């Protein structure tokens, strides 16, 4: 087992030859966050490329964030967080930068985003305990960095016994220290056994001597002709970037740093080795804990851009410091192809409406504002929704179901009036038999047989029933079911069949012995054949089948069939969905006697009136059928949209 020597480390400090390594100047990328890079062409395993972020902890608008504890069934030392890539972490919590951090289990490259993870060492997120320090984990979580609610940092050289966490708002465990009081102490690990001290891709955290700056550093490896850095080489980069204290955190295939582009979407800063190992360019390894920060954007000529997509239109607004023109190019590719009418007025507030869009599509756009010969642009993308729909969750996958394995051929067990009181049992989803894959979650109810082994097979079919309430009219509604099923199933609503999943199509009669004609998670998935969290079975019930939904009590019945007789999984979530006609909001900007009116939608007419109290005093404004509309007001005027 790998061990770390943590006593009298200062005695091992040596003078390194720093001449081979160099770093670039810091470049602001957000307010309070700067980026730099480093290079060492004489490293022990070839040329090293390092990337660093410097976060100003005294900037009042900078916010730190650590992966929070799982909210669904948190279990210490087992189910503490959910796996997530740095890109997913940045996007979900609307951060500007993010990097992998704490060591975790289970290890390996088969973990998928959303499955449970257990962290090593002290982790706190916004005052909430995620993971506690464990004496037996100090060999993989020796150090820690702590931050108060006002981002005041402290470095814990060796965190055992666990430090007092009173007032700690964020805490991140490190595997072992690299710098202490400006001294590279990592030469102590040079002869230590274990691959962690070999040349590896690296992630490291550092603090400046005055505690003003937090440094996040990655060093590439296992690609580009280098295996990565040794501990002392990592510490050397920390020193060159300006750190006074520093620690190594989880690295290898986990090492990955991202930043947000102008659209808020994650962009890789370094080149992670996981994508090479799995043969998927651009992929990132899901990890148990990430760390990041949010900050305000840098002041640019085009700023405060807002994007409001609708099914067939989109509203783009922005501001400029100097008065400028207004126009947006847009299209399904970055070649654009369409443009809004040029508004040649010189204004500081700008609005453009993109029309004729396809619902459920991604569009690229470029906002343009010109003052004389100088033009400023802002490029981004948007996605139009498929429909304007209201969705309501009826129940989720943890819904409780009654179950049995008795052969019910010839029995009307799907009928609402059927009594399932004598069935084998009841429990919340996911209900499962002999399923041990970590990618199948949440596994809440184990069904018999409880023990597997050589030659053990399970019943071909398991039957399930549950009740749910519905009130109101089913007119205009559809039912959406999101399921985890291993392997095939037939669904019934109040006794009537509504859907077959990987089972023979009608009119084939499904019996107790029917075998599914497919497996879940097919395609290029590591979990092929499992009801994994990354590939649920989703289908929608519409039309005549909706006549089976009644007001009051309803019964959903499902028979699940396994293919090979070795395992079985079932769980289902139910939602109602209704398409609605959404009326756009009418917006108004005024400057002197000039009014700019704009809305997000098509097929509407702009009307005005001098007397809002009169229903007959509204009149269409000639040609005002497309947003935006610019009018001159000579008196008090009211405006509205009509369809």
| pLDDT at residue 546 is higher than 80 | yes
Q: Which of 404, 391, 400, 406 is nearest to 429 (CA)?
A: 400
What is the rounded CA–CA span in Å between residue 295 and residue 61?
Answer: 6
pLDDT, tens digit, 9 for 90 and up, residues 126-159: 999 999 998 888 888 999 999 999 999 999 999 9
Tokens 């012995």, residue? Answer: 513
Q: CB burial class (10 A; 0-12, 13-18, 19+) of residue 489? A: buried
Fold exhibited by the domain 302-383: Immunoglobulin-like (2.60.40)
pLDDT at residue 283 is higher than 80: yes
If one compares 181 and 3, the residue with the highest pLDDT of the two is: 181
User: HSE-up of 154 (CA within 13 Å, CB side)?
Assistant: 15
Cis status, amide bond into 430, omega within 30 of 0: yes
Return the percentage of the chain with pLDDT > 70, whole number.
93
Q: How far apart (Å, rounded) are the C-alpha atoms in residues 272 and 255?
A: 6
* Residue range 623-640, pLDDT digits in tens: 899 999 999 877 788 999
CA atoms within 13 A on the CB side of 458: 28
Rg (CA), the chain: 30
Looking at 260-264, 326-330, 414-418, 615-619, which range is the least confident one? 615-619
Residue 364's pLDDT is: 95
pLDDT surpasses 80 at 6 = no
How confident is the model at residue 255, as a pLDDT? 98
pLDDT score for 83 = 97
Distance of alpha carbon 527 from alpha carbon 114, whole angstroms: 14
Tens digits of per-residue pLDDT, 87-110? Answer: 999 999 999 999 999 999 999 999
In the predicted model, is pLDDT for residue 524 greater than 80? no
Helix (H) or strand (E) holding 203: strand 202-207
Is the pLDDT at 15 greater than 70, yes or no? no
Domain boundaries along the sequence of the chain:
30-294, 302-383, 390-579, 587-642
pLDDT band at residue 454 under the 50/70/90 scheme: low
Q: Which residue is listed with tokens 């409001």? A: 308
Residue 201 has pLDDT above 80, yes or no: yes
Phi, psi of 547 (to 5 degrees): -65, -15
- Give the model's pLDDT for residue 8: 34
pLDDT value of position 452: 60
Q: What is the pLDDT of residue 10?
A: 36
Helix (H, G, I), strand (E, B) or coil at 263: coil
Rounded CA-CA distance 285/89 in Å is 12
Tokens of 418: 């059927």
Structure tokens at 330: 């847009």
Selection from 208-222, 299-313, 451-465, 562-576 with the highest mean pLDDT: 208-222
Per-residue pLDDT, 12: 35
**CATH node for 390-579:** 2.60.120.260
Amino acid 390: pLDDT: 74
- Asked if the model's pLDDT at residue 7 lies above 70, the reply is no
> Distance of CA 397 to CAs 86, 148, 188, 537, Å?
27, 38, 51, 12
Q: How do beta strands 21-23 and 33-40 pair?
A: antiparallel
For the residues 293-305, what does the mean pLDDT come to?
94
Distances (CA, A) of 200 to 140, 238, 248, 270: 16, 16, 11, 14
């Amino acid at each position: 087992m790998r061990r770390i020597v943590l006593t009298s480390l200062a005695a091992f400090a040596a003078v390194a030859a720093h001449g081979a390594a160099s770093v670039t100047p810091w470049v602001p990328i957000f307010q309070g966050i700067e980026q730099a890079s480093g290079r060492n062409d004489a490293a022990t395993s070839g040329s090293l490329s390092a990337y660093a972020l410097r976060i100003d902890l005294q900037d009042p608008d900078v916010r730190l964030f650590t992966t929070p504890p799982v909210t669904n069934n948190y279990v210490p030392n087992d189910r503490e967080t959910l796996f997530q890539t740095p890109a997913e972490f940045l996007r979900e919590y609307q951060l500007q930068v993010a990097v992998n951090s704490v060591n975790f289990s289970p290890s390996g490259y088969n973990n998928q985003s959303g499955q449970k993870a257990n962290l090593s060492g002290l982790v706190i997120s916004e005052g909430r305990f995620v993971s506690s320090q464990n004496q037996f984990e100090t060999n993989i979580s020796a150090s820690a960095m702590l931050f108060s609610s006002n981002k005041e940092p402290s470095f814990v050289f060796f965190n055992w016994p666990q430090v007092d966490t009173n007032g700690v708002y964020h805490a991140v465990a490190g595997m072992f220290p690299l710098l202490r009081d400006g001294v590279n102490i990592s030469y102590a690990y040079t002869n230590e056994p274990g691959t962690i001290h070999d040349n590896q891709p690296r992630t490291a955290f550092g603090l400046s001597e005055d505690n003003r700056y937090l440094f996040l550093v990655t060093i590439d490896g296992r690609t580009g002709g280098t295996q990565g850095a040794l501990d002392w080489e990592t510490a050397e980069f920390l020193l060159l970037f300006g750190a006074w204290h520093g620690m190594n955190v989880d690295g290898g295939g986990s090492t990955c740093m991202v930043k947000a582009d102008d659209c808020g979407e994650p962009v890789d800063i370094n080149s992670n080795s996981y994508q090479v190992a799995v043969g998927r360019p651009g992929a990132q390894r899901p990890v148990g804990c990430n760390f990041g920060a949010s900050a305000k954007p840098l002041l640019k000529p085009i700023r405060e851009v807002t994007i409001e997509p609708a099914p067939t239109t989109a509203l783009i607004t922005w501001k400029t410091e100097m008065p400028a023109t207004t126009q947006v190019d847009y299209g399904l590719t970055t070649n654009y192809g369409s443009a809004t009418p040029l508004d040649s007025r010189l204004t500081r507030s700008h609005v453009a409406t993109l029309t004729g869009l396809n619902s459920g599509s991604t569009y690229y756009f470029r906002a343009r504002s010109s003052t004389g010969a100088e033009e400023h642009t802002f490029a981004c993308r948007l996605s139009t929704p498929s429909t304007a729909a209201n969705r309501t969750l009826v129940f989720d996958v943890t819904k409780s179901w009654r179950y049995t394995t008795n052969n019910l051929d010839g029995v009307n067990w799907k009928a609402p009036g059927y009594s399932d009181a004598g069935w084998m049992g009841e429990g919340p989803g996911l209900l499962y038999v002999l399923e041990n894959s970590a990618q199948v979650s949440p596994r809440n109810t184990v069904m018999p047989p409880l023990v597997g082994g050589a030659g053990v097979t399970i019943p071909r079919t398991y039957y399930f029933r549950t009740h749910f309430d519905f009130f109101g009219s089913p007119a205009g509604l559809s039912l959406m079911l999101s399921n985890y099923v291993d392997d095939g199933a037939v669904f019934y609503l109040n006794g009537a069949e509504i859907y077959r999943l990987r089972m023979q199509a009608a009119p084939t009669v499904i019996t107790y012995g029917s075998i599914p004609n497919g497996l879940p998670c097919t395609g290029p998935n590591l979990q092929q054949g499992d009801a994994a969290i990354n590939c649920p079975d989703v289908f929608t019930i519409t039309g005549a089948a909706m006549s089976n939904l009644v007001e009051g009590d309803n019964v959903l019945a499902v028979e699940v069939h396994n293919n090979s007789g070795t395992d079985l999984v079932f769980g289902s979530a139910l939602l109602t969905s209704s398409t609605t006609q959404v009326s756009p909001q009418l917006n108004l900007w005024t400057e002197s006697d000039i009014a700019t009116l704009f809305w997000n939608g098509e097929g509407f007419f702009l009307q005005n009136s001098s007397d809002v109290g009169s229903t007959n005093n509204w009149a269409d404004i000639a040609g005002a059928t497309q947003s935006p509309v610019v009018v001159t007001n000579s008196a008090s005027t009211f405006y509205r949209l009509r369809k």
